[in-house]
Structure 1
Amino acid sequence: MPTPLILKFDDIRAEMLPLVGGKAANLGVLTTAGFPVPPGLCVTTEAYRRVTEQAGLDDVLDALAVTRADDVKALNELAARARALVLSAPVPGDIAEAVRRSAHGPVAVRSSATAEDLPYASFAGQQDTYLNVVGEEAVLDAVRRCWASLWTDRAVAYRAAGGIDPRAVRLAVVVQEMVQSEIAGVMFTANPVTGRRREAVIDASPGLGEAVVSGAVNPDHFVVDVATGRITERRLGDKRLAVRSLSGGGVERVETAVEGACVTDAQIRALAELGDRVEEHYGSPQDTEWAIDPGGALWLTQSRPITTLYPIPRHSASERPDGMRIYFCFTVAQGLYRPITPMGMSAFRVLSSSVADLVGTPVADRLEGAPQFAEAGGRMFLDATGIMRSRVGRALFPRLLDVMEARSATVLRGLAGEPRFSMTQRSVRPALRRLVRNAARFRIPSRAVRALLDPASAHRRADRLRAALRVRLASPVDASSLQRLDRVEQILGTRAIPLLPEIFPGAAAGFAMLGLAYRLLGERARPGELQTVLRGLPHNVTTEMDLALWHLAERIRADDGAVSLLLGTPAAELAGRFHAGSLPGPVQKGLAGFLEVYGVRAVAEIDLGVPRWSEDPTHIIGVLANYLRLEDPALAPDALFARGAAEATAMIRTLGARAGGVRGRAVRFALGRTRALAGLRELPKFIVITVLAAMRAELRTIGADLTARGLLDSPGDIFSLTLGEVRTALAAVSGQSASAGTAPPYPVTLRALVSERREESARELRRRHVPRVLLSDGTEPEAVATAVPVDGALTGTPASAGSVTGTARVVLDPVGAHLEPGEILVCPSTDPGWTPLFLTAGGLVMEMGGANSHGAVVAREYGIPAVVGVARASEHIVTGQRITVDGTSGTVVTG
């Protein structure tokens, strides 16, 4: 049966998207479901295919496939060539005749691309629409122009930014009866600004909806609580312009003067009720267009998913808490914006079950994780509702975030004042009992006291723990894949988390001494002076790593051939040569020694699914090359570190003298112990990363087994699965059955599941905004973007004292990033994988974090001014811009 050229809306089904495109598919679905859609039909993608096959687009498509998304000039030139070719292509007679037969009365001719109105990308307004088209030849011409509009500059750029294959898109065309509307507009069935679900947002204006959609008019604006029908917000626009149809075809823009609202309250509620039915039909919030004709009839002219809403965090199948919930994004607080792999998420579920054991609420199924564990968009969220509704949690959790993620702390304190999150656990006794029990179990008080009396003992203990951990994590040689999987789940579920209290007391004692000094000094300490004490801290595993890499660069600098090789060869090629053992001696040996100690680390290292530097040293080699470009000895990182340590020692003497007497001696003792112990702060995370790296190696071995059995294409594919799915697969191939309740059956083949997960991850990687705090109705409390103040200063949390003016370098991903010495690093967040860049940075501006977050700690130790928690810094600041960072006041001045 030949592929149809024309399909009526009644004959279109959702699964026909490749044939009719997104817009027509949705209109067909709405028509079949009985919604008030103006009748129409679709000129299918088969017509576009036959026309463009003659257009000679192949060369343009080949060029587009290899053109970078940021090469706007080249994309525009290619788009223009494609449009010209499509417009000049002849239209076969049967297609032209089919289109002419569709021209009955005034119609709207609208593009319907196959990459349009999708659940993850709306592509709204990227192709063209022609309104009030009258006559057969006019309709045929409008259809041709819609075909060509698949190659508008904006559409081509949008697809390039979204990673859409230019050969994968085709265009259908909707020909739909015109609604000569008296009033029209758009309606979101969820609030696109705050994210709140079941809150309709309606914009309305006289005339055709084009005026509202194109932004040519200030419409009336209404917000409706869908559940009650209550209009919670109304803001009337001036509505000075309307788009109206001309009698002979086409439209005109006319000035209007409409007093009051252009729609009645009854019409607003009817719209909200219609939107609610549409959302219920699709099962997700919708972006709709609507019109009211002269007779008062309400028409739905378009519906597509709202693609900008962040998904609501979901718990495991067995945990569906009631009532409004507060979700705190744990991964963003850890400096990770990118989505976590499914295996990385699965590992954290098991780790969370170990945390639940520590606090006295063991879980039945470790693979599901703690009840408070939730995920959305590939990020981990903590259900903080119980914490914020208890007296102890409300007092302590925001204070902890003050030094880790200050903006989240502010948001949570704001929520604490709302009646719906009123305190329900007023007694401190349950929390106190858990605290005393764990303090006794891990001998935390005695270890903290011993660390204060003898800091060297704390460091010896840490060294012994690291050495013993490497022995314990050594992989067994002859274990089966099921035995290896058992070992992974056991170590993650019972052994990893209890290691942390072994290290915690020393670091905690160090920061307790900093707090004591702060109280002893009071107003005697000026802003930024106590931060100076934290510069050049010894015993910090992350700064030791960065300096070890710098010293390797210094050794390589003595070999001119090695320097030329590193500066003139792509890092990925050098990584391949390293694994082949063919790099020059100083580089090969030095890099091997560095990776022997720090190869467990990576950018986004808390994700077990991410390759470690020992597997792929491309990033580290790129950083080495960057270090070799630093020629000013005064800016050498080891010199800066030593200078920071000297400044810290001098500051301790100054503050002690300023306090004087017994108080001064107490200040010097406290700050001395701070310097001796606070560097241990980074070690607990390094311990966890070491465990994750070892478990990753075990899982890769299992992945190799599944690959050999033909279930996966490569060992690394295992990280797109979960622990439960792997257990099910292994049980199946070994003739066993998975343990009941621990491993859900996978519904499709492993290869298909891996492919689907990778597509999901690729989409989430393009998400630019991840909320810090989210409510279970979708509301993001910090939803309104922070505006740049009138004086141009951005504000955040002071993190490292001092001021610097320099050139900004906005970096969203450190892998392959090139930072010129002295440039100011501007980034969303950081983890230890970023810190090698700090060594040549002149300053730091970070969207996330607080005064004791990872980036802030390392910036202080290197003595570079830093401000963290700066809202949308990577959007307000552009690379090459001159900015001034004041790490004492917490301001960033642009321009």
Structure 2
Amino acid sequence: MRSYVLFFEQVDRSCLPYVGGKGANLGELSKAGFPVPGGFCITTLAYQDFIATSPEMNSLLDELNAMDPNDLNQLRNLGERIRTHLRQLEIPAPLRNEIIHAWKSVGEEYAYAVRSSATAEDLPTASFAGQQDTYLNIKGQEELLQHIRKCWASLFTDRAISYRAKNGFDHRQVYLSVVVQRMVNPEIAGIMFTADPVSGNRKVVSIDASFGLGEVIVSGMVSADLYKVKAGKIIHKNVSEKKIAIYSLPEGGTVKKDLPPDQQTKQALTDSQILRLAELGKRIEKHFVSPQDIEFCMENGEIFIVQSRPITSLYPLPDIPQEPLRVMFSFGHVQMMTDAMKPLGISVLRTIFPKTVLLEAGGRLFVNPTEVLRTKLGRKMLPIALKNLFDEALSREISEVIHRPEFLQVPPKPGLVKSARQFVAPIIKEVWKNLFKRDPKSAKSKVESFMQKKWTEVRKDLQGVSGAERLETVQHQLSAFGKAMLQNIFPYVICFPISFLLLKRALIRWIGDDKELYQINKSLPGNITSEMGLQIGDLADLVRELPEVEEYLKHANNQTFYEGLLNVRGGERFKRSFEDFIAKYGHRCPGEIDLTRPRWREAPTQLVPAILGHMRSVKPGEHRQKFIQGEQEAQEAIQRIMDHVGRRGLKSKWLKRLIEVYRHMGGLREHPKYLLTLILDECKKAIMAEAEELVKKGVLQQTEDVFFLTLDELIQLSKGEFKQNVSSLVADRKEKYEWHQTLKPPRVMTSEGEIVTGSPRKGELPEGALVGSPVSAGVVEGKARIVLKPEEAHLNEGEILVAPHTDPGWTPLFQSAKALVTEVGGLMTHGAVVAREYGIPAVVGVNDATKKIKDGQMIRVDGNQGFVVILSDENEHHVG
């Protein structure tokens, strides 16, 4: 394709490299018969041949690619030089002649809109919309040529240069097409989103409209009318005051005019026009097979489409029908790991849990409890369970959806309640026995006996097999794991939150408050994750005695971690202790439910910040002393409770039983995840061994490429049955994973794509307070330390840990923290339980805490009422 000019009728999506996103979309619309004003695209070949006539452009582009994108002065100066140069550059005669011929073919009597269309524009993962310039109502040959040159120059506006630099686009590889389109002289114009850009609902069409040209909306000069349409009905209408409008001038150019007072508050579009427009928008969406951001205008009552591009800001949907309405919640939010996951990590978890329940969207997993929530009992019990086990906000948001008429009108699946009862009944029976009959002290040995047996079984099954057989064994073990854990560990662990709720109610009724409950939670016996934290403290105390080891750890790397220790005084002693720790906990890491994350055994330097941070903020032996002190405080609290209710009678017997269950079952809370990560690590070793074989055979380029395949695909690959190009597939998925990492997953979403926000928690709060859920009592003030990754933490004594979330991989930092604030979490999630054990205040579920709170600011954490107040910046003097 060597043409300088392509008319819209000649263009479709395959022409993207020549006409850019905007041009390709207009061509598609025009070819498909949608009402698009006529016009043509000046191709990227024209742009390339135009700049090739410049003797200076090569060196200017070299300067641009070598520039620091954060140096705004250099960016501004260089951009201005390039733009001035291109605006003064002559258009070569062959190109000029072809443009003039195309212009005359459409009609030289018309005015035109001249718009840029970049080749990297309006892609599913990046939108360059608005990065280059648009010129309206351009009339006459010389004006047209001048503005085409301006469009080419606008590829080098400051914001376009900055956007490309920050998003990793080479300035040489982004070319510009120019779209020349006949101007419509509209009475009304606007923007239509075929999915609600605020809530994400794919069923709602959102329309902004005002009088005159659409530039008045795009530039923000007026607040446009807002209309929302769903299923052929107008569901929302907000008619704004529109004081001004922009109109085309007969001689070319545009003018801004004040609207007459009676027109300012008039509804721009009639109801029938709104519905016609929404129906047209949905047809355009169907053509492009994705939600669209559409610019439209109306001339003499006729609708014209002047632009359509994909909406890139929507969170992706799981692969399920949008109807009937379903509701899902984020698995990552309840597991304290909201980061994007690679395909292997996702497929492993979907092997453990039913694929119909665990759905993938945007590189995250979502739990689909819809069928349970269709039942009356499910609607009553599940929100309560979610509130107490995981996240109060999540529970509120789920409740908001399940009481909508469109959700309630769908009946539950026939036989669901009966089959659920048959499955759950034996588990409930075991839970009842553990709560009221069995000796709570014996629970730990029973659970750990099962864990040892299961781990031994998995290791044995994976020994002596290789190739596809080894991977199929991995798959078999993972698929059997969920049911085994549910039957053998869950009946013990669930007693912890149940006894918590029963104790809370009993203490409030008989004593008047539940303050002692938080004291009882301290230093729970047998908590495998708390013991891990104590052993980190032991390692830190050992390093205090070995200054050369401390210095070595500051610069150690994973590849030579152990060998390097042998070259420093005391290194061998530390190595033995560290290896003992890794033997027990090396399968753990932050984000450990994702099999693809590097374990501590693979990347031991991840533990260094925790060890050094402990040395800075905790005195020698203090961690063990605190634990013993916590045990004493818990026993003293128990004694005060028993003294208050008396030592005899049913109350006393009931409370004593509940307290024993609470403490001993609470100590087992982290055991399920410990076992899960043990099994995941054994499976990872088997998978990586097979990956190495595939690399040797040349099937994979590197072992980590397996992370971008599913378990099923990996098995097919080992059998030689995989039909796709592996390298190409892996490259595509790596690119997609990079995009997924930029997304913020919703806590709750519907099958329509709506991100449910729910109503905020009510109550009197200080002005400007950041609201969350109170999960560990107490009020403290201190310096905020923002930690996004535990391996990069630098906590000092008396600092407050502010994190997106925490899981057992974060536990080593808790010894050093004065309080905890997280963006995700609930009463029974990891951070909350550990904070209560350590006796530090905690507030969880604080939206965007790591953005709203700045590193080093003085903050107050109120773990009693559940909010955080920013007191001052780091450099301000604080009087406490």
TM-score in terms of structure 2 length: 0.89
Q: Where do residues 821-832 of structure 1 align in structure 2 (5 Å cutoff)?
A: 821-832=797-808
Q: Do the aligned partners of residues 28 and 466 (structure 1) sit closer, same or farther apart at CA in structure 2, a change above 3 Å counting?
A: same
Aligned to 1:771: 746
Give the Cα separation in 1 of the matches to 2:173 and 2:614: 42
- 1:885 equivalent to 2:861? Answer yes
Aligned to 2:702: 714
Give the Cα separation in 1 of the matches to 2:343 and 2:293: 30
Contact 1:528 1:888 (C-alpha < 8 Å) held by counterparts:
no
Contact 2:440 2:661 (C-alpha < 8 Å) held by counterparts:
no
Aligned to 2:327: 326
* Cα shift at 1:393: 2.0
Q: Do the aligned partners of residues 689 and 624 (structure 1) sit closer, same or farther apart at CA in structure 2, a change above 3 Å counting?
A: same
Q: Where do residues 256-655 of structure 1 align in structure 2 (5 Å cutoff)?
A: 256-257=259-260, 258=263, 259-293=265-299, 295-315=300-320, 323-353=324-354, 369=355, 371-403=356-388, 404-422=390-408, 424=411, 430-438=419-427, 446=433, 453=439, 455=441, 457-474=442-459, 476=462, 478-495=464-481, 497-523=483-509, 524-526=511-513, 528-567=515-554, 569=555, 574-578=557-561, 580-582=563-565, 584=568, 585=571, 586-630=573-617, 633=619, 637-638=623-624, 640-655=626-641
Q: Where do residues 150-229 of structure 1 align in structure 2 (5 Å cutoff)?
A: 150-225=155-230, 227-228=231-232
* Cα shift at 1:99: 5.2
Contact 1:193 1:784 (C-alpha < 8 Å) held by counterparts:
no
Q: Do the aligned partners of residues 706 and 76 (structure 1) sit closer, same or farther apart at CA in structure 2, a change above 3 Å counting?
A: farther
Deviations 1:555-608 (A, max 9, x none): 1122222222333x3xxx522221655564155444333222211112221122
Give the Cα separation in 2 of the matches to 1:148 and 1:554: 63
Q: Do the aligned partners of residues 539 and 139 (structure 1) sit closer, same or farther apart at CA in structure 2, a change above 3 Å counting?
A: farther
2:239 counterpart letter in structure 1: L
Which deviates more, 602-611 or 163-172?
163-172
2:174 counterpart letter in structure 1: V
Q: Do the aligned partners of residues 82 and 60 (structure 1) sit closer, same or farther apart at CA in structure 2, a change above 3 Å counting?
A: farther
Aligned to 2:247: 244
Give the Cα separation in 2 of the matches to 1:133 and 1:880: 54
Contact 1:183 1:204 (C-alpha < 8 Å) held by counterparts:
yes
* Cα shift at 1:468: 3.7
Contact 2:50 2:92 (C-alpha < 8 Å) held by counterparts:
no
Paired residues, number: 843
* Cα shift at 1:677: 3.0
Give the Cα separation in 1 of the matches to 2:867 and 2:325: 35
SS in 2 for 1:576: coil
Give the Cα separation in 2 of the matches to 1:31 and 1:213: 24
SS in 2 for 1:347: helix
Give the Cα separation in 1 of the matches to 2:600 and 2:157: 42
Q: Do the aligned partners of residues 807 and 11 (structure 1) sit closer, same or farther apart at CA in structure 2, a change above 3 Å counting?
A: farther
2:663 counterpart letter in structure 1: R
Aligned to 1:855: 831
Contact 1:75 1:156 (C-alpha < 8 Å) held by counterparts:
no
Aligned to 2:757: 782
Structure 1 residues without counterparts, runs of 5 or longer: 354-368, 738-744
* Cα shift at 1:242: 1.5
Which deviates more, 325-334 or 582-591?
582-591
1:577 counterpart letter in structure 2: T
* Cα shift at 1:132: 2.3
* Cα shift at 1:756: 1.1
SS in 2 for 1:123: coil
> What's the C-alpha RMSD, in Å, of the aligned pairs?
3.1
Give the Cα separation in 2 of the matches to 1:322 and 1:242: 41
Aligned to 2:82: 85
Contact 2:134 2:151 (C-alpha < 8 Å) held by counterparts:
yes
Aligned to 2:137: 132
Q: Do the aligned partners of residues 613 and 153 (structure 1) sit closer, same or farther apart at CA in structure 2, a change above 3 Å counting?
A: farther
* Cα shift at 1:822: 3.3
1:418 counterpart letter in structure 2: R
Give the Cα separation in 2 of the matches to 1:656 and 1:223: 60
SS in 1 for 2:280: helix
Contact 1:506 1:678 (C-alpha < 8 Å) held by counterparts:
no
Contact 2:323 2:751 (C-alpha < 8 Å) held by counterparts:
no
* Cα shift at 1:163: 4.5
* Cα shift at 1:856: 1.0
Contact 2:82 2:156 (C-alpha < 8 Å) held by counterparts:
no
* Cα shift at 1:446: 4.9
Structure 2 residues without counterparts, runs of 5 or longer: 872-880
Aligned to 1:357: none
Q: Do the aligned partners of residues 411 and 510 (structure 1) sit closer, same or farther apart at CA in structure 2, a change above 3 Å counting?
A: closer
1:712 counterpart letter in structure 2: L
Give the Cα separation in 1 of the matches to 2:323 and 2:207: 29
Deviations 1:86-135 (A, max 9, x none): 43254552455655666645322222122221122223322222222344
Which deviates more, 248-257 or 716-725?
248-257
Give the Cα separation in 1 of the matches to 2:757 and 2:197: 13
1:392 counterpart letter in structure 2: L
One of 819, 840, 846 as aligned partner of 1:870? 846
Contact 1:444 1:501 (C-alpha < 8 Å) held by counterparts:
no
Give the Cα separation in 2 of the matches to 1:671 and 1:596: 33
1:416 counterpart letter in structure 2: I
Give the Cα separation in 2 of the matches to 1:40 and 1:783: 46
Q: Do the aligned partners of residues 251 and 92 (structure 1) sit closer, same or farther apart at CA in structure 2, a change above 3 Å counting?
A: closer
* Cα shift at 1:541: 1.9
Which deviates more, 504-513 or 230-239?
504-513
TM-score in terms of structure 1 length: 0.87
Q: Do the aligned partners of residues 659 and 124 (structure 1) sit closer, same or farther apart at CA in structure 2, a change above 3 Å counting?
A: farther
Give the Cα separation in 1 of the matches to 2:312 and 2:209: 22
SS in 2 for 1:22: helix
- Aligned-residue sequence identity (percent) comes to 37
Give the Cα separation in 1 of the matches to 2:327 and 2:864: 32
Q: Do the aligned partners of residues 622 and 113 (structure 1) sit closer, same or farther apart at CA in structure 2, a change above 3 Å counting?
A: farther
